[in-house]
Amino acid sequence: MRPVLVRSWTVILFVASVVTAIEPSATEQAQTETEVICPSDGGQCYPAVFEATDRWQEVLPDQAIPGGLHVRLNFESGRRQAKLLSNDDSEDNVGVVVVSEGGSAEVTNDEQSVAVEPDVWGQSSYSHKPNPHISLSEHEEFENNLAFIISSFNFERTEAEPKKDDGPLGSSALQSVESNLDADEHELLIAAMRNIEDFSHEIDFGIKLAVPEVISVFMTLVNTHSSPSVRALSARIIGSSLRNNEPALQIAVTSQVVSNLLESLDQEQDPEVRSRIMFALASSIHGKYGRREFWEHKGGDILRNYFFSVIPDEDYMGRCGTLVEDSFVNDMMNSHSSNSPSDTTQSELKVELGLWCSAFQDALANDNIASMDVREKIFSALSAMKLSYPTYCPIQDNFRQWIALKVEQRTALRRQKHEAQEALSSSLSAVDGQRSDLDNTPGQEMVFLDKLSTVRHTLFGNPKAGRKALDNYHDEL
- Directed axis angle between helix 228-242 and helix 183-200, to 10°? 20
Least confident interval from 34-38, 319-323, 339-343: 339-343
Q: What is the band of 65 on the pLDDT scale with cuts at 50, 70, 90?
A: confident
Residues 138, 144, 146, CA angle at the centre, nearest 5°? 100
Q: What is the band of 457 on the pLDDT scale with cuts at 50, 70, 90?
A: confident
What residues have CB less than 8 Å from 317, skipping those under 6 apart? 307, 363, 369, 374, 378
Q: What is the band of 339 on the pLDDT scale with cuts at 50, 70, 90?
A: very low
Contact indicator for 18, 73 with CB cutoff of 8 Å: no
Question: Per-residue pLDDT averaged across 118-136, rounded?
Answer: 63
Q: How far apart are the first and last CA of the chain?
A: 70
Q: What is the band of 398 on the pLDDT scale with cuts at 50, 70, 90?
A: very high
- What is the rounded CA–CA span in Å between residue 128 and residue 131? 9
Amino acid identity, position 99: V
Select, from the ranges 194-203, 243-252, 433-442, the one with the highest average predicted confidence (pLDDT): 194-203
Q: What 3-state class would DSSP assign to 402?
A: helix
- From the list 431, 415, 412, the residue with the least C-alpha distance to 423 is 431
Least confident interval from 70-79, 104-113, 263-272: 104-113
pLDDT at 401: 94
pLDDT at 473: 46
pLDDT at 153: 85
pLDDT of residue 120 exceeding 50, the answer is no
pLDDT at 209: 96
Edge-first strand order for the sheet with 79-84 is: 18-19, 69-74, 79-84, 57-58
Least confident interval from 10-19, 80-89, 381-390: 10-19
Element (DSSP H or E) covering residue 213:
helix 212-224
Question: Per-residue pLDDT averaged across 310-314, rounded?
Answer: 82
pLDDT at 378: 96
pLDDT digits (tens, 9 = 90+) for 155-209: 776 665 554 444 433 333 334 344 456 778 889 999 999 999 999 999 999 999 9
Any idea of the CA torsion for 317, 320, 326, 329, to the nearest 10 degrees?
-110
In the chain, domain spans: 92-163+170-294, 298-360+372-381, 398-476
Instruction: For the chain, give the percent of residues with pLDDT over 70.
Output: 65
pLDDT of residue 236 exceeding 60, the answer is yes
pLDDT at 17: 45
- What is the rounded CA–CA span in Å between residue 328 and residue 318? 15
pLDDT of residue 394 exceeding 90, the answer is yes
**Residue bearing the bigger pLDDT, 355 or 477:** 355
Question: Per-residue pLDDT averaged across 401-422, rounded?
Answer: 83
Q: What is the band of 417 on the pLDDT scale with cuts at 50, 70, 90?
A: confident
pLDDT at 221: 95
Question: Per-residue pLDDT averaged across 452-463, rounded?
Answer: 81
Give whole-number Cα distances, 416 to 421, 469, 472, 475, in Å. 9, 18, 16, 15
**Residue bearing the bigger pLDDT, 379 or 183:** 379
- DSSP for 28-70 reads HHHHHHT-EE--TTS---EESB----SS-EEPPTT-B--SSEE
Q: What is the band of 216 on the pLDDT scale with cuts at 50, 70, 90?
A: very high
Report whether CATH 3.40.50.2300 matches the domain 92-163+170-294: no
pTM over 0.75: no
pLDDT at 6: 40
pLDDT at 86: 65
- From the list 456, 474, 477, 476, the residue with the least C-alpha distance to 466 is 456
Give the largest CA-CA distance in the chain: 99
Question: Per-residue pLDDT averaged across 101-127, rounded?
Answer: 40
- From the list 361, 354, 359, the residue with the least C-alpha distance to 309 is 359
- From the list 98, 119, 126, 100, the residue with the least C-alpha distance to 253 is 119
